[in-house]
Amino acid sequence: MLRSLAIPARAIASRSVMVRNVVGFEDFFGKKPGGNNKRPTEDPKKPNKGTGGSGGSKPPDFQMNTPTIMLTAAATYMLWKATAPPENSRELTWQSFRSQLMDKGMVDRLDVLNRSRVRVHLRPDAGSLGVSPNTVFYFSIGSVDSFEHNLEEAQNQLGIPSDERIPVAYRDEVSLLNTLLHFAPTLLIIGVLFYMTKRGPGGAQGGIFGVGKSKAKMFNQETDVKISFKDVAGADEAKEEIMEFVKFLKNPAMYERLGATIPKGAILSGPPGTGKTLLAKATAGEAGVPFFSVSGSEFVEMFVGVGPSRVRDLFATAKKNAPCIIFVDEIDAIGKARGKGGQMGGNDERESTLNQLLVEMDGFDSNEHVVVLAGTNRPDVLDPALMRPGRFDRHISIDRPDISGRAQIFRVHLKPIKTSEDVEKLSKKLAALTPGFAGADIHNVCNEAALIAARYHKDEVTTSDFEQAIERVIAGLEKKSRVLSPEEKKTVAYHEAGHAVAGWYLQYADPLLKVSIIPRGTAALGYAQYLPKDQYLFSTKQLADRMCMTLGGRVSEQIFFDTITTGASDDLQKVTKIAYAQVTAYGMNSKVGPLSFHDPSQEQQFQKPYSEQTGALIDEEARKIVSAAYERTVELLSGKKDEVEKVANLLLEKEVLTREDMENLLGKRPFKEVNSVYDEYVRPKRIEAPPPFPEEKGENDVN
């Protein structure tokens, strides 16, 4: 599928290949916190806070004391003595018993044990025959009947009178070892249940398996967290608000003297990768107070009542360690609006957990100095009771960084990269080449560049490595194994040339940065990369130009090949979304009027918020908008057929064209570009030759 990297309006739901809806910053390379991160000295009058309780602290190790060691050793010795065979015992066979003992008249009596073994008792005068009378002999028998028959036959052969025959007694003896082994499974289960019950906080409160204990982890700022606020870039406003919480916890008297109280909590919201968790890590590194981190999904288990129990345990531990900070990541796992989270039922456990969280947050005393931070990607689905002041007093939105923010993030990530490039200039250039990138994407670009340089055994990372890494992140891995036929390659070239030429001659289209016909990713046979500026408002003319540029590939195929292919499906999806957004969300259609039917909270509703007649009108008007853009694009490219052919032929020759190549072919764009980001950050500035030095005049020179 041919994919164009045109950047649609930010408010429009469409996503281009280049600008993904992931913004902000993510994990940065850790650095040691500053020197002012020491924990305050504990007050000896206060109870020991330590790492006790459940919280996120590690469970205390089992310590062996002297009485425990002695008791264990004594029990082990007694068990061994009870189960070990006597030292003076000796095993025999029937033949040995007959020849060594019975034939010599040393046997006093016999005991048949459990109908399987025979114990031999010797006569007191057996010592005179060289055998210790204290020795106990044993031998095994197959059956009692066989033993009795053999014994009677042996005594008959020895001529022993009937009144002097060896007495035989039958006994049933129980082995202590066998008894313990018989009851071992039951005893083991009882022991495990007893241990698990004692392990829970307050006995039964922790649950029989400890599932009611909070799984929050308590971070040690000196060992666990190595990120500080200086490692956070691209979100200065959010960082400033978070730092205020840290300042309050470190120096509450500065605020309390004016009558201020610390906010109970703050919601960090924004698209994935904007740095919500990173800000929390930096807060943990800078706060100098205990920091508990837990995921919203960790409150939910298969057992009923576990979620509320873990919430209670978490806040009980936080109170013991106050002042402290609790960070709940992905709070929307338990904080969804009640009645909306699961339309098919089964919400009781999640709602019970949410209710317990509401009670715990609202029941806090402000003087306890416990702050709750939470991160979410979907603030619109959270329960209003959770978002109200008194629980989460501040709502901190972290949006994607602009070009200056991206440059700051690149500077952070370029520090560990080995390169001889000017970091300041390189960061600005890369920021201009990555519009809409999140901090996670920026970190990925820097890492990919280092991997590419290492793949070719380079000594340092160069600018070309970063450019390849950006293409890798934007359009996917280059598919060298995907060989296109000459006809397909020509179609792709004219398709991408149509995009490039249409955008070149449309005033409000984004400037072209690069166009390629090298297959990448899973479906893209070619792509065009543009350089949009940071813009927040779009007019109907601007949207129309973007639609025409997006349709340029499809129109080019129709003009030059008199046919269409499936390669424009992604372009058609983008155009359709823009058209419907103008009609249903932005009120830009005269027939439908200034109405907006877009409600993000009602995305999963089964009924449309308008009638069937209105729906048919919306479809008709959206089709008219797309048709008008298509006809305009046909008219534009029909008049620029020579330019399209030039670009397509050069694409077939070089496979990749840059903006300089386009300017050499078509000249500069016929529109004045004010404050061009490309000219400022990307285009290499020409160094003019310095003026010549003035010639030295001799003594005879005339003025």
Residue 338 has pLDDT above 60, yes or no: yes
- C-alpha 632/C-alpha 617 separation (Å) is 23
645 CB-near residues (< 8 Å, 6+ apart): 497, 560
Going by C-alpha positions, the residue among 146, 138, 123 that lies closest to residue 173 is 138
Range with the poorest average pLDDT among 304-308, 366-370, 510-514: 366-370
pLDDT of res. 457 = 93
Contact 618, 595 (CB under 8 A): no
pLDDT tens per residue, range 429-451: 898 888 888 888 999 999 999 99
In the beta sheet, which residues pair with residue 378? none
655 classed as catalytic:
no
How confident is the model over 397-417, as a mean pLDDT?
90
> pLDDT digits over 230-263, tens only?
888 888 888 888 888 888 888 888 888 888 887 8
Mean pLDDT of the chain, nearest integer:
77
User: CA of 203: how far to CAs of 190, 261, 554, in Å?
Assistant: 16, 36, 70
Give the pLDDT score at 604: 52
Residue 487, both tokens: 């006809």
Instruction: Round to whole Å and give the CA distance between 121 and 394.
Output: 91
Residue 46 three-state SS: coil
- pLDDT for residue 365 is more than 70: no
Q: Which helix (H) or strand (E) holds 635?
A: helix 612-639
Average pLDDT in the 370-398 region?
87
The residue type at 576: T
Which residue among the candidates 496, 557, 621, 643 is catalytic per the annotation?
A: 496
Strand partners, 336: 382
Asked if 1 and 488 count as a contact pair (C-beta separation under 8 A), the reply is no
Q: Which of 117, 118, 123 is nearest to 135 (CA)?
A: 123
What is the average per-residue pLDDT within 182-200? 75
Helices (H), ranges, 562-611: 569-584
* Torsion sign over Cα 486, 491, 492, 496: positive
Task: Give the strand order in the sheet containing 117-122.
Answer: 89-92, 136-140, 117-122, 107-113, 168-171
CB 491 within 8 A of CB 565: yes
Structure token digits, residue 614 = 């209105």
Given this model, what pLDDT does residue 678 score? 54
Residues 320, 53 contacting (CB under 8 angstroms): yes
4 with 550: CB under 8 angstroms? Answer: yes
Cα distances from 42 to residues 46, 253, 289, 506, 620, in angstroms, run 8, 17, 11, 68, 72
Structure tokens given for 140: 């095994």
> What is residue 52's predicted lDDT score, i.e. its pLDDT?
38
- pLDDT at site 404: 86
Distance, CA of 217 to CA of 317 (rounded, Å): 11
Structure tokens at 29: 């390379």
Residue identified by tokens 């993510």 is 26
Give pLDDT, residue 554: 94
Quote the distance between the C-alpha of residue 464 and its chain's center.
30
Ranges of beta strands (E only) in 300-398 are: 324-329, 370-376, 394-397
**Residue 628: what are its φ and ψ, rounded to 5°?**
-65, -40
Q: Which residue's structure tokens are 């823009």?
A: 578
What is the pTM assigned to this prediction? 0.64
Task: Say which range, 9-18, 289-298, 378-387, 571-580, has the weakest mean pLDDT.
Answer: 9-18
Could you give the domains of the chain? 89-175 (3.40.1690.20), 220-338+347-397 (3.40.50.300), 403-475 (1.10.8.60), 486-597+609-682 (1.20.58.760)
Q: What's the CA gap between 421 and 463, in Å, rounded?
A: 8
Tokens encoding 173: 């003896």
pLDDT digits (tens, 9 = 90+) for 587-632: 999 999 998 887 655 555 556 778 889 989 999 999 999 999 999 9
pLDDT band for position 69 (cuts 50, 70, 90): confident
Tell me the average pLDDT across 325-344: 76
Q: Residue 617's pLDDT is what?
A: 94
C-alpha Rg value of the chain to the nearest Å: 42
Structure token digits, residue 633: 């694009």
The CA–CA distances, whole Å, from 79 to 73, 76, 179, 185, 191 equal: 10, 5, 12, 18, 18
Q: Which residue has the higher pLDDT, 196 or 156?
A: 156
CA distance 275 to 20: 16
Distances (CA, A) of 643 to 71, 459, 500, 527, 663: 95, 42, 10, 18, 12
CB-CB contact of 334 with 383 (8 Å): no
Token pair in block for residue 650: 């050069």
- Longest distance between any two alpha carbons in the chain, whole Å: 164
* Segment (H or E) for 26: none
pLDDT in tens, 100-113: 888 888 888 898 88
For the chain, helix, strand, coil in percent to 5 are: 45, 10, 40
Instruction: Annotate 3-21 with b (16+ C-beta within 10 A) or e (fewer).
Output: bbbbbbbbebebbbbbbbe
Handedness of CA 25, 30, 34, 37 (dihedral sign): positive
